[in-house]
């Protein structure tokens, strides 16, 4: 009669220990792959925006676009048009991305500017629009002042003494505690579309291991490390903070 040999408790513990060691050794490699993937996604999407902006500047005598305009029919954001007749409930709002000042240039390059890295960083994600998101912001110091809709505050590329050091776009976000389903006890990460040195100073999203990706006025882009001591304390793991003023003010 044949007998079967069962694993002893010691053998099972040994197997579990070996598996634990292997997982520990693999974890850094998995994290590195994930970081490179999300970094590449953000970089590619931001590059589409940067190319569209450079084309826009070329065709508009070097003058930047307004980041926001109120019209009779709705709001012309720099990233798309929101009709006044559309839904106003958070998460159900509708955005026509083709009608933003950069929309035609992005479409011409077959771009869509989705940044999947924005929603995969671990924090609770609160959508603003029903039909997509951007995850990037524009420097309103160049595009219409703090309100984003002041033509007198529009800059010309030739006015910038350091176009390669002044940010035009960056990975952006804000921590929402004031619009359901977000609350003070349930802070949520949502997209944000502007940054400057005043009312939108703390909207840079350093979502890549504490780094933000910034596209500069000359079309170049690079990673910029954030100051963790300045990250929004309502949800510090989301890594929302600010850029140095010297990188924003022309």
| pLDDT tens digits for range 186-242 | 999 999 999 999 999 999 999 998 999 999 999 999 999 999 999 999 999 899 999
Q: Write the CA distances from 153 to 50, 147, 148, 162, integer angstroms.
A: 21, 10, 8, 18
- The pLDDT tens digits for 169-189 are 999 999 999 998 899 999 999
Q: How many CB atoms lie within 10 A of CB 100?
A: 21
| Nearest-angstrom CA–CA distance, 229 and 196 | 19
- 65 in helix, strand or coil? coil
What is the average per-residue pLDDT within 162-174? Answer: 96
Alpha-carbon distance 39 to 142, whole Å?
26
Q: pTM above the 0.95 mark?
A: no
Nearest to 137 by CA among 91, 180, 170: 170
- Is residue 213 within 8 A of residue 247, CB to CB? The reply is no
For residue 157, give the DSSP letter.
G
d(CA 65, CA 69): 10
Alpha-carbon torsion (75, 145, 62, 206), positive or negative? negative
CB under 8 A, 24+ apart: contacts of 15-19:
none
pLDDT of residue 3: 52
Q: Does pLDDT of 5 surpass 60?
A: no
Going from N- to C-terminal start, the domains of the chain cover 9-247
Whether a cis peptide bond, with omega within 30° of 0, leads into 205 is no
């Amino acid at each position: 009669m044949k007998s079967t040999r069962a694993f002893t408790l010691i053998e099972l513990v040994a197997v579990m220990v070996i598996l634990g060691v292997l997982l520990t050794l693999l974890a850094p490699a998995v994290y590195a792959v994930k970081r490179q993937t999300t970094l590449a996604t953000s970089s590619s999407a931001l590059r589409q925006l940067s190319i569209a902006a450079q084309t826009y500047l070329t065709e508009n005598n070097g003058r930047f676009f307004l980041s926001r305009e109120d019209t009779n029919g709705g709001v012309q954001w720099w990233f798309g048009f929101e009709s006044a007749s559309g839904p106003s409930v958070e998460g159900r709002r509708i955005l026509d991305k083709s009608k933003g000042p950069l929309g035609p240039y992005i479409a011409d390059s077959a771009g869509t500017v989705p940044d999947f890295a924005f929603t995969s960083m671990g924090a609770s994600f609160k959508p603003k629009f029903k039909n997509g998101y951007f995850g990037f912001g524009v420097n309103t110091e160049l595009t219409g002042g703090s309100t984003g809709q002041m033509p007198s505050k529009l800059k010309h590329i030739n006015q910038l003494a350091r176009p390669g050091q002044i940010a035009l776009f960056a990975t952006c976000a804000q921590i929402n505690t004031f619009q359901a389903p977000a609350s003070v006890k349930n802070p949520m990460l949502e997209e944000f579309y502007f940054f400057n040195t005043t009312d939108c100073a703390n909207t840079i999203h350093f979502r890549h291991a504490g780094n933000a990706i910034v596209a500069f006025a000359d079309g170049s882009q690079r990673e910029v490390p954030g100051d963790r001591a300045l990250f929004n304390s309502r949800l510090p793991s989301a890594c929302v903070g600010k850029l140095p003023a010297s990188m924003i003010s022309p």
